[in-house]
């Protein structure tokens, strides 16, 4: 396989690790809440997943715990922002900070311990498609869940009553309230659900890619997720595309190094973030955003 091909193929696991937090962010933002705490939910999910795997030896139990940890982290943000109307950006950062502190303290004993990664499961038939088969369909189950979750989220948002209320809440909560629904409850649940999904991203990163715990190991994925959602124009399929672009930028570094090409690792490490900024700028400059109405100014709320 050419280097380019290898990069495109290696990008899948990392992309999926971003698909989860980005989908979670999307759900939360569709309800009108920006959640920078997504980064914290991922961290909590990663540690919860690793610690449970180490403790019980059961990776899948680790995945379940990761989801719960993510939801618990989200509930902090939801309480502050939805119930107490705190500033969304500040609360998100605080939640991340709390998660950073708590996971560092709790994870100290797990530092450096290696767990066995989630095994790849080849999908019969599909994995034997030439070229794309092994790339797309010889992955771990969390990757497949990610594939499924994208259209499922899209369907939920557009074709269910819950999805309609979710979208409406993100647009004009007062109208939703007048319609006899409970916008606060919708937002609370959306933030928790979104963070739970982000927790899965932490599990994919920790149990599907890295295999051990280190402090702050999510490295800004949760923040990138916010940018990916803007790029995706709040559409789940756009999230898939945006995550893949990021995943490719991420894969460049590892593939180039594996080939022993003399470059500086740290400059390559910066590449995904640079790509994200460039993409964000490109999307922002085309004009009208699709952002849910109630949060159109939330990214610039200063008090």
Partner 1 sequence: MTSERLVLTRSRAWDVARSAHRAVSWTRVGIVAGAYVLCLVAFAAFAAWRGANPLTLIPTMLQSSLLEPSALAQTLLRAVPIGFAALAVAVPARAGLVNVGGEGQLIIGAVAGAGVGIAVGAHVPGVVGVLLTVTAGTLAGGLWAAISGMLKVAFGAAESVTTLLMNFIANDIMLFLIYQPWKDPNGSGQPQSRPLAASIRLQPLLGTGVTLAVVLLVVVTVGLWFVIRRTGWGFALRVVGGNPMAAMRNGLPTRRLSLSAMTVGGALAGLGGVLNLIGVEGQLRPDLTATFGYVGFLACFLGRNDPIRVALAAILFSAIALSGNGMQISEGLDGSIVNVLLGAIVLTMLTVGRRTKEALT
Partner 2 sequence: MSAPNDSRAEPHDTPALEVRDLVKTFGPVRANDGISFTVMPGEVHALLGENGAGKSTLVKSLYGVHRPDSGEILRDGKVQHLDSPSVARRSGIGMVFQDMRLIPALSVWENIALHLESTSGVLRPRQLRALIAETSERYGLATHPLRKVEHLSIGEWQRVELVKVLLGGLRLLILDEPTSVLTPQEVAGLFAMVRRLTAEGVAVIIITHKLREVRQIADRVTVLRGGRTVLMNASPHALTDAELITAMVGEPVETLQRAVTPPVTGAHALVRLNGVSVRRPDGDWGLRDLDLEIRPGEILGVAGLAGSGQNELADLLVGADGIADGEVVVDGEAVALPDPVRMRRAGIVGVAPDPVRQFVVPGMTVAEHTALWNSAGMFAFDVRHADADLRRRDAMAELRVVASSRRMDRLSGGNIQRALLTLALTSDARVVVASYPTRGLDVLTTERTRTLLRRLSEAGAAVVLISEDLDELLALSDRVAVLAVGRLAGILPGGTADRNTIGELMTGVEAA
Q: Tell me if 62 sits within 8 A of 49, measured CB to CB.
A: yes
Can residue 105 be called a binding residue for partner 1 (CB under 8 A)? Answer: yes
Question: 297, 267, 299, 30: which is closest to 163 by C-alpha?
Answer: 30
- Which of residues 110, 201, 276, 292 is near partner 1 by CB under 8 A? 276
80 binds, among partner 1, partner 2, none (CB under 5 to 8 A by kind): partner 1
Give the Cα separation of 24 and 53 in Å (integer).
Answer: 23
- Looking at residue 57, what DSSP letter applies? S
285 binds, among partner 2, partner 1, none (CB under 5 to 8 A by kind): partner 1
167 binds, among partner 1, partner 2, none (CB under 5 to 8 A by kind): partner 2
Give the Cα separation of 277 and 285 in Å (integer).
Answer: 12
β-bridge partners, 114: 212
Question: 193, 151, 172: which is closest to 35 by C-alpha?
Answer: 193
**Interface residues for partner 2 in 157-196 (CB under 8 A)?**
159-162, 164-165, 167-168, 171-172, 174-181
- What is the DSSP secondary-structure string of 93-149? HHHHHHHHHHHHHHHGGGBT-B-PPPPPEEPTTGGGSTTHHHHHHEE-HHHHHHHHH
- Which of residues 55, 56, 57, 85 is near partner 1 by CB under 8 A? 85
Give the Cα separation of 46 and 213 in Å (integer).
Answer: 8
- Which of residues 54, 61, 100, 120 is near partner 1 by CB under 8 A? 100
Binding region for partner 2 (CB under 8 A) out of 77-85, 110-118, 263-271, 284-292: 284-292
Instruction: Write down the least CB distance from residue 175 to partner 2, Å.
Output: 5
Kindly list the residues in this chain that would bind partner 1 in the complex (CB under 8 A): 36, 76, 79-80, 84-91, 93-95, 97-98, 100-102, 104-106, 108, 173-174, 177, 183-184, 215, 219-220, 223-224, 226-227, 230, 264-267, 269-270, 273-274, 276-277, 280-281, 284-285, 294, 299-303
Kindly list the residues in this chain that would bind partner 2 in the complex (CB under 8 A): 159-162, 164-165, 167-168, 171-172, 174-181, 287-288, 292-293
């Amino acid at each position: 396989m050419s280097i380019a091909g290898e990069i495109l193929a290696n990008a899948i696991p990392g992309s999926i690790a971003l698909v989860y937090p980005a989908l979670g962010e999307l759900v939360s933002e569709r309800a009108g809440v920006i959640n920078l705490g997504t980064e914290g939910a991922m961290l909590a999910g990663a540690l919860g997943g690793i610690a449970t795997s180490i403790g019980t030896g059961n990776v899948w139990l680790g995945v379940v715990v990761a989801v719960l940890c993510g939801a618990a982290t989200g509930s902090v943000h939801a309480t502050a922002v939805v119930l107490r109307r705190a500033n969304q950006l500040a609360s998100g950062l605080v939640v991340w900070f709390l998660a950073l502190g708590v996971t560092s303290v709790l994870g100290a004993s797990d530092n450096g311990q290696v767990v066995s990664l989630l095994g790849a499961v080849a999908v019969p038939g599909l994995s034997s498609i030439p070229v794309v088969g092994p790339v797309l369909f010889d992955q771990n189950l969390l990757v497949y869940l990610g594939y499924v979750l994208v259209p499922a989220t899209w369907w939920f948002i557009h074709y269910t009553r819950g999805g309609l209320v979710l979208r409406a809440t993100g647009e004009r909560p007062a109208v939703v309230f007048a319609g006899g629904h409970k916008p606060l409850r919708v937002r609370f649940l959306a933030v928790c659900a979104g963070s739970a999904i982000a927790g899965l991203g932490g599990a994919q990163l920790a149990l599907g890619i890295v295999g051990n715990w280190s402090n702050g190991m999510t490295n800004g994925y949760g923040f990138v997720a916010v940018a990916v959602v803007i790029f995706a124009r709040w559409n789940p399929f756009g999230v898939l595309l945006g995550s893949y672009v990021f995943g490719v930028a991420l894969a460049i570094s590892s593939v180039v190094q594996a080939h022993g090409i003399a470059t500086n690792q740290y400059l390559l490490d910066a590449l995904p973030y640079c790509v994200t900024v460039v993409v964000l700028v490109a999307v922002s400059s085309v004009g009208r955003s699709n952002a849910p109405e109630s949060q159109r100014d939330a990214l610039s709320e200063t008090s």
